[in-house]
Amino acid sequence: MTTIPATEARQKWAQTLQLAQREPVTITQHGRASVVLLDAEVARRALEALEDAQDIADAKAAEAEMAAGGVPISLEDIAKELGITLD
């Protein structure tokens, strides 16, 4: 991963974007990492993977709660709480 000061990133914006399409680029402000530029497809896949990991963690937590004697919630109750009707 390449690290570039914000001033340099602004001055060489086209080159910074080209570099970010090949590898993540960390942009610093006052010597500290501020943002990371990523290729759009890499960012999309990374966010999707994070969402999938969170979904798995939530499902495991729900399974553990049920195994510990938690009370199940019906689909009808969930729909009612969300204000939707089931067909």
Cα-based torsion angle of the residue sequence 8, 10, 16, 50 in order, rounded to the nearest 10 degrees: 110
Q: Are 34 and 6 in contact (CB under 8 A)?
A: yes
Mean pLDDT (whole number) for 11-36: 97
What is the value of pTM for the model shown? 0.67
Pick 2-38's CATH classification: 3.40.50.2300, 1.10.3720.10, 3.40.1620.10, 3.40.190.10: 3.40.1620.10
Mean pLDDT (whole number) for 45-62: 97
The whole-number pLDDT of residue 52 equals 98
